[in-house]
């Protein structure tokens, strides 16, 4: 899989960061974007340079359609191709439905769902020309259950939407050698969820422990590989059996 190019949104922290480093070590050329994590991005670039592959980290708010499309175009023009898109970026907050603000409501969709539309439109033409591509999205472990979520309403709806977009893209792009799959984490020890919340959830996780970012990286690496060429439109739960 060396000499392939991966784009990773939200790549300066958490799962995105760990995946960027793992792919670089595997020979992938890696371009990540971040919105606010400037210091983390500088640290990431140091780690990526040590791998010896071409890499870059750019500040880009992919909730802005023009910015997202410009980022993809820039990488394609300078590096010649984009083989994989991994959508790791996304905001998360807990707030009661009737205490949610209009701004907060829109943020959940702007950062968790809409970028999939912008970025897939941007990367698909090149993948179609090359007859090969991988797109990986992230939802949440219990999204398929369509449960009421008084404190996560907008976030949860956006993540359900991620499943629908994933399956739509998979069905549309499969004839052209492109796979589109979703990973749905439960509780993973990364910057995305407060430590106290993770600790409180351990007793509710059948496996008895919180997952690690490396667990997500392992699933991503499989989905990017040729071994997963016939896996398309899947939603892989990464939750230790929580949320089923």
Tell me how far CA of residue 42 lies from CA of 26, 86, 186, in angstroms.
21, 20, 29
In terms of Cα–Cα distance, which of 54, 55, 14, 58 is closest to 34?
58
pTM (2 d.p.): 0.95
92 flagged as catalytic? no
Which domains can be identified in the chain, with CATH numbers? 5-238 (3.40.50.720)
In terms of Cα–Cα distance, which of 31, 30, 34, 26 is closest to 2?
26
Among residues 34, 156, 209, 230, the one annotated as catalytic is 156
Per-residue pLDDT tens digits of the chain, which is 244 residues long: 557 999 999 988 899 999 999 999 999 999 999 998 888 888 899 888 888 899 999 999 999 999 999 999 999 999 999 999 999 999 889 999 999 999 999 999 999 999 999 999 999 999 999 999 999 999 999 999 999 999 999 999 999 999 999 999 999 999 999 999 999 999 999 876 678 878 888 999 999 999 999 999 999 999 999 999 999 999 999 999 999 9
Residue 194, classified by CB atoms within 10 Å of its CB into exposed (0-12), middle (13-18) or buried (19+), is: exposed
Q: Is residue 143 classed as helix, strand or coil in its secondary structure?
A: helix
């Amino acid at each position: 899989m060396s000499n392939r190019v991966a784009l990773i949104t939200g790549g300066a922290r958490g799962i995105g960061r760990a995946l960027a480093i793992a792919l670089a070590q595997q020979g992938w050329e890696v371009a990540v974007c971040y919105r606010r994590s400037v210091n983390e991005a500088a640290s990431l670039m140091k780690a990526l340079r040590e791998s010896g592959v071409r890499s870059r980290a750019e500040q880009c708010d992919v909730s802005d359609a023009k910015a997202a499309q410009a980022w993809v175009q820039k990488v394609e023009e300078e590096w010649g191709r984009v083989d994989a898109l991994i959508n790791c970026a996304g905001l998360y907050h807990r707030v009661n439905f009737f205490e949610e603000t209009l701004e907060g409501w829109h943020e959940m969709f702007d950062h968790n769902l809409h970028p999939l539309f912008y970025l897939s439109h941007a990367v698909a033409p090149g993948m179609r020309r090359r007859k090969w591509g991988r797109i990986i999205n992230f939802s949440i472990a219990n999204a398929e259950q369509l449960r009421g979520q008084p404190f996560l309403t907008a976030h949860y709806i956006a993540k359900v939407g991620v499943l629908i977009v994933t399956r739509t893209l998979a069905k549309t792009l499969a004839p052209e050698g492109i796979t589109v799959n979703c990973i749905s984490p439960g509780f993973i020890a990364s910057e995305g969820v407060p430590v106290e919340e993770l600790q409180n959830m351990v007793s509710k996780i059948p496996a008895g422990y919180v997952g690690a970012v490396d667990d997500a990286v392992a699933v991503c690496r499989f989905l990017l590989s040729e071994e997963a060429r016939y896996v398309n439109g899947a939603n892989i739960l990464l939750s230790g059996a929580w949320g089923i």
